[in-house]
Chains A and B, each alone.
Chain A
């Protein structure tokens, strides 16, 4: 028995030695200009018409007509990308564009106005997930319905010049053109293999895809035909590493040049990254909103008193402080901070448990009578799952019988899209910097509110939300959106805005600087990663 104990002790010492010793041997034999990053899952496609998640290749291999540039904390500017100059007619319906001269795709062929036209028409007819982006162009609905062969509002004058006519004025149109969804593709090389075969996925951006080993890694290399300044990261290898803990070890071992801390457990971020790598952390606002949805068709939630009581019963400050260590900010409206039109003076929803209880009592409900089910997607992040648990406890404290039911992702989506989900917590991240992207998506029509299980009933408000896109005067438009936010969130208590997250990244020793995507996406522009 003694010998056994001695052997165990020796083994323990060996492991301890391994755990304590061995200084990391980083940056050995890494080729200059190579950027190594990791993602949890592989892309399903490189075709942006078919995805709203896999934006890394579209953002880096293709260009848009315009891009969003970060000019300060929460401040962005829209700058021309492929476009050299543009002008809007007085009616704000017709826009004239001139492309930069000498634009080329990575295969050497010229990028012309016809390619832009093809991109618009193809996006509308591809039957994919982004076919609603250019819908406001004149004739888009007809093209999509098959009653027209071409997009009537898109007129090509010559290789460099084209005009786009909208069906109605739309103040957010230029902002919409910054969306990765409208990435310009090469009409000549476009084929059935587009998005799936690297040799048939041709763009004009700073990179071209040179390798894709499914579920293992893919490689991007500098496109020498790129019109802009060459990136300092001339080669990017994206490794597919499904386990965040493994990513953590790889970063600390010097095998990754950047890690997305949003994927790691917050305790690791707090204990390791904010101490050992504090000077390596890059912070970005994740422009968007996490919200608690309440279905207005539900037996209890159809009563505005119940919805208002829920709004007051949830302690959002405690959620932000306790779960996110204040790496998030409480939101009060619909338009999140960092988006044009954000109203920091919107009426705040107070946390008042007693008032919530009183409201339910006054409305005639006994303790525990109001019963709701909070649907949780099993694939939600650990943070979101904790938030749901806190909300449940807050609601129980207010006398509401709140139950959490966990669904697999597919069932969760199917139930939500049916318009029959009682309550849920979800996050919307902005596609482009215009309030219409969130206001219209959630409250623009009966179909829109139903598909998100909100079932908001005020058709007059919905009509105003839809019409707000057409207000050209900035001040008038901002005022209209802010008035609508007050009606929807405060007067009608249609949903409970929760918080906007902060997205943290950590860069490695080989990286000098990094500017994340303006909306804090996990996907980023590799050209904004400055290598030493």
Chain B
């Protein structure tokens, strides 16, 4: 098992280095000029040359790459061209909001998704099954921005139960978390239902029933553990992608998160900020995947044995 985990860690490191190189070279290939964007109306050739030299953009690519890589290894991604602040500072400012939003959204998705999936499986083709699957279909198919706007209009604007936008308190994150988590809840509910139904057909479930276990006992103690393996993978992937920034939700609810930071960096061709956000979120995503793989290894004895 340790060998398998070590191998996955090695692959993770390769992915991170690969993305670091890819983002560096891509940003130097795509058209557009960060200095021209910064200087806007004042971008004559002499000014562009002067500012480029100040930012080190006139140095050979390998020198720039060395500065970028050695800096990144020390957590230094440089200074944002547009915001005039160290990228590290901006990431640290945005990340707590993204974590808060992602964790709450994940909780919404996991709790609602798993419970809905279990109930739907237990009441297969029944009334509740149809209701929950109907809602999960809505969750999967409705765009996040639409859910966000409906919640904002009904819950915040008309009923005044929660704030429309902004703020640091937990209640300011409830609507964004529901908007963001609903989509994931739909997927989890459908997956939980289908895997649970599959597992409930297994022989060992019949054995458990024959031993006199109640239906709930069978599901919780025997079926759920096996049914949760693919669900767990999906959860981990969803969490890591939620942590990499939910641009639309952050924009609609005015949350200062990683997603908004990345979009600003892209439109302004803010190279250090873009490199920083991409690398930072890459690390989060691959670490999320790594954790999922490790959990999978721990939870599934077959994989443990193979490893």
Q: Give the B-binding residues of A (Cβ under 8 A).
A: 3-4, 7, 15, 18-22, 24-25, 41, 44-45, 50, 52, 127, 129, 131-132, 195-196, 213-217, 239-243, 245-246, 249-250, 252-253, 255, 379, 407-411, 413-415, 417, 441, 447, 451
Contact = CB atoms under 8 A, between A and B. Distances in A.
A408 B157 contact: no
B39 A447 contact: no
Contacts of B51: 127
Kindly list the 4 A-B residue pairs having the minimum CB-CB distance in the complex, ordered from nearest: A410-B32, A215-B256, A410-B269, A18-B154
A239 B166 contact: yes
13 contacts: A7-B131, A18-B159, A131-B42, A240-B256, A241-B166, A245-B149, A246-B152, A250-B164, A253-B164, A407-B31, A410-B33, A414-B33, A451-B41
Contacts of B153: 19, 249
B156 A411 contact: no
B119 to A, nearest CB: 15
A411 B32 CA distance: 4
Given A19-B154, A214-B256, A415-B31, 19 more contacts: A18-B154, A18-B158, A22-B158, A45-B84, A52-B40, A196-B85, A214-B83, A239-B166, A242-B251, A243-B165, A243-B252, A252-B157, A408-B266, A410-B32, A410-B269, A413-B33, A413-B36, A414-B31, A417-B36
Contacts of A132: 42
Given A19-B154, A44-B83, A408 B267 contact: yes
B50 interface: yes
B123 interface: no
Nearest to B127: A3
Contacts of B50: 127
Contacts of B88: none
A129 B39 contact: yes
A241 B254 contact: yes
Interface of B: 30-34, 36-37, 39-44, 48, 50-51, 54, 82-85, 90, 93-94, 127, 130-131, 134, 149-150, 152-160, 164-166, 168, 251-254, 256, 260-261, 264, 266-269
A131 B130 CA distance: 67
B259 to A, nearest CB: 11
Contacts, number: 141
In this complex, the member of B40, B150, B155 whose beta carbon has the largest number of chain A beta carbons within 10 angstroms is B40
Given A19-B154, A242-B260, A413 B43 contact: yes
Nearest to B134: A4
B39 A243 contact: no
Q: Select the residue from A52, A129, A242 with max chain B CB neighbours within 10 A.
A: A242
Given A4-B134, A44-B83, A44-B84, A215 B164 contact: no
Nearest to B47: A127
A443 to B, nearest CB: 15
A52 B260 contact: no
Contacts of B90: 214
B252 A19 contact: no
Contacts of B130: 4
B97 to A, nearest CB: 9
A250 B268 contact: no
Contacts of B82: 44
A195 to B, nearest CB: 8
B127 A4 contact: yes
Contacts of A41: 264
Contacts of B267: 379, 408-410
A249 B152 contact: yes
B32 A22 contact: no
B167 to A, nearest CB: 9
A408 B265 CA distance: 12
Contacts of A410: 31-34, 36-37, 267-269
A379 B267 CA distance: 8
A246 B94 contact: no
A438 to B, nearest CB: 12
Contacts of B41: 52, 129, 441, 451
Given A214-B93, A239-B166, A245-B252, A21 B158 contact: yes
Given A410-B267, A410-B269, A417-B43, A246 B252 contact: yes
A409 B172 CA distance: 32
Contacts of B93: 214-215
Contact of B160 (A25, A127, A217, A451): A25
A408 to B, nearest CB: 6
A213 B168 CA distance: 11
B9 to A, nearest CB: 34
A379 B264 CA distance: 11
Contact of B251 (A19, A127, A243, A451): A243
Given A4-B130, A243-B251, A410-B32, A249 B164 contact: yes
A180 to B, nearest CB: 15
Contacts of A214: 83, 85, 90, 93, 256
